[in-house]
């Protein structure tokens, strides 16, 4: 990937024809699906489905102005959130399991996605926030390209689980302005037990490095609204199950001590979490405080903490 593209925004990619080439490459990946690290190898263009249960058609659960994201993302005008149906990680404690596991949502055309993006921009949203987009990248890029043609000019936020292929992320260079991944687990055991992804941490570490290479640390405008960069979310799990120290140590030592991190306290035992004794409660105030202490010890003081 040409690193000179770093300096181009998505409109330039659109005007040069590069965006169209990326869309073609992304659709090619659907024929033997390797969009994400699951590498199911199914032909989604022929209606076959893999782990994420998604076919060729785009599926969306909802879209709206969201005021509950981190302050630099929601700002005063809201974040233009589009929830994609299904998920390539499918954590067993997912709060959004009706969307991620059960597939609640509607099939829509790429033209309808274009309309959603433009309507969110018109409402005054600061960005287009794609929630769980990984398994629909080709279709999203197609709708996005039409939106750019019709005047879309706000940052694109890629709000994902962190379980991403570097090669797929490279298709997004110069297109995505803000990467907002989760970094869920710092151990192989947790990835395997709760998300059927024993390689989660290893894969997510490579993905974070690629995201940071593309966009750098989070930069805000004078109003405190995010313009470009990396924002990493970490949900603290009960009984140390998220491997919080390992997650934050990686960010401090291998990404940047200026990484903007969002430390989330809202865990509750949703969906199948009750089947796991160690996950079957909310976190305590002490557990959240321990996570705050770790980031302080590691010198990671940029980001957002929740009042527990
Ligand atoms: S996007 Fe879906 S079908 Fe494709 S590799 Fe990932 S889980 Fe499998």
Q: Say what angle helices 18-30 and 137-149 make with each other, to 10 degrees.
A: 160
The pLDDT tens digits for 109-165 are 999 999 999 999 999 999 999 999 999 999 999 999 999 999 999 999 999 999 999
Residue 308's pLDDT band (cuts 50, 70, 90) = very low
As a whole number of angstroms, the distance between CA 84 and CA 240 comes to 30
Q: Would you state the pLDDT for residue 4?
A: 38
Top-tier CATH class for 3-48+58-305 = alpha beta
Exposure class string for 241-271: b at 16+ Cβ within 10 A, else e: bbbbbebbbbbbeebbebbbbbbbbebebeb
Residue 14 has pLDDT above 70, yes or no: yes
The rounded Cα 160 to chain-centroid distance in angstroms is: 2
Residue 1 has pLDDT above 60, yes or no: no
Give φ, ψ of 301 to 5 degrees.
-110, 10
What does pLDDT average to over the chain? 95
Q: What are the distances in angstroms from CA 57 to CA 22, 62, 166, 289?
A: 18, 16, 24, 44
Residue 220's pLDDT band (cuts 50, 70, 90) = very high
Residue to mutate, 27, 28, 29, 33, ligand 1, most ligand atoms under 8 Å from C-beta: 33
Residue 5's pLDDT band (cuts 50, 70, 90) = very low
Q: Average pLDDT of 70-85? A: 98
Q: Would you state the pLDDT for residue 303?
A: 85
CB 230 within 8 A of CB 73: no
Q: Give percent of the chain with pLDDT exceeding 70.
A: 97
DSSP annotation of 279: G
CB 82 within 8 A of CB 65: no
Closest ligand 1 atom to Cα of 30 = 4
User: Whose alpha carbon is nearest atom 8 of ligand 1?
Assistant: 40
Please work out, in degrees rounded to the nearest 5, the angle formed at the alpha carbon of residue 138 by the alpha carbons of 137 and 141.
80
Residue 307's pLDDT band (cuts 50, 70, 90) = low
The pLDDT tens digits for 285-302 are 999 999 999 999 999 989
Q: Would you state the pLDDT for residue 306?
A: 74
Neighbours of 63 (CB within 10 A): 22
CB 198 within 8 A of CB 190: no
Half-sphere CA count of 221, side-chain side, radius 13 A: 9
Give φ, ψ of 102 to 5 degrees.
-90, -10
Residue 81 has pLDDT above 80, yes or no: yes
User: Whose alpha carbon is nearest atom 6 of ligand 1?
Assistant: 36
Domain boundary assignment for the chain: 3-48+58-305
Q: Which residues lie closer than 8 Å to 232 by C-beta, 6 or more apart?
A: 180, 181, 182, 183, 208, 251, 255, 259, 260, 261, 262
What's the pTM? 0.96
Q: Average pLDDT of 217-233? A: 97
Residue 129 forms beta bridges with which residues? 81, 157
Q: Would you state the pLDDT for residue 24?
A: 98
Q: Would you state the pLDDT for residue 304?
A: 83
List, chain by chain if needed, residues with CB within 6 Å of any ligand 1 atom.
33-36, 38-40, 42, 50-52, 54, 88, 135
Q: Would you state the pLDDT for residue 106?
A: 97
Q: Would you state the pLDDT for residue 301?
A: 83
With 0-12 / 13-18 / 19 or more C-beta atoms within 10 angstroms meaning exposed / middle / buried, residue 189 is exposed
Residue 96's pLDDT band (cuts 50, 70, 90) = very high
Residue 124 forms beta bridges with which residues? none
User: Whose alpha carbon is nearest atom 3 of ligand 1?
Assistant: 50
């Amino acid at each position: 990937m040409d690193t000179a593209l770093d300096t181009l925004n998505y409109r330039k990619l659109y005007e040069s024809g590069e965006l169209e080439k990326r869309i073609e490459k992304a659709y090619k990946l659907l024929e033997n699906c390797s969009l994400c690290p699951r590498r199911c190898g199914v032909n989604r263009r022929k209606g076959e489905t893999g782990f994420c249960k998604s076919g060729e058609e785009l599926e969306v659960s909802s879209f709206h102005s969201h005021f509950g994201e981190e302050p630099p993302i929601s700002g005063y005008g809201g974040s233009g959130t589009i929830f994609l149906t299904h998920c390539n990680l499918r954590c067993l404690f997912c709060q959004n399991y009706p969307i991620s596991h059960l597939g609640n949502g509607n099939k829509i055309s790429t033209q309808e996605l274009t309309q959603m993006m433009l309507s969110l921009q018109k409402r005054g949203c600061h960005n287009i926030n794609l929630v769980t987009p990984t398994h629909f990248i080709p279709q999203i890029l197609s709708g996005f390209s039409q939106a750019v043609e019709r005047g879309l000019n706000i940052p694109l936020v890629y709000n994902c689980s962190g379980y991403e292929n570097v090669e797929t992320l490279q298709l997004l260079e110069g297109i995505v302005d803000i990467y907002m991944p989760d970094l869920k687990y710092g151990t192989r055991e947790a990835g395997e037990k709760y998300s059927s992804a024993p390689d989660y941490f290893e894969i997510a570490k490579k993905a974070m490095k690629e995201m940071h290479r593309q966009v750098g640390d989070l930069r805000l405008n004078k109003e405190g609204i995010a313009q470009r960069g990396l924002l990493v979310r970490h949900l603290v799990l009960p009984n140390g199950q998220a491997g919080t120290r390992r997650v934050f140590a990686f960010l401090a030592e291998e990404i940047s001590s200026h990484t903007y991190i969002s430390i989330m306290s809202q865990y509750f035992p949703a969906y199948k979490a009750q089947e796991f004794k160690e996950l079957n409660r909310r976190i305590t105030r002490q557990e959240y405080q321990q996570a705050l202490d770790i980031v302080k010890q590691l010198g990671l003081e940029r980001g957002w903490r929740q009042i527990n």
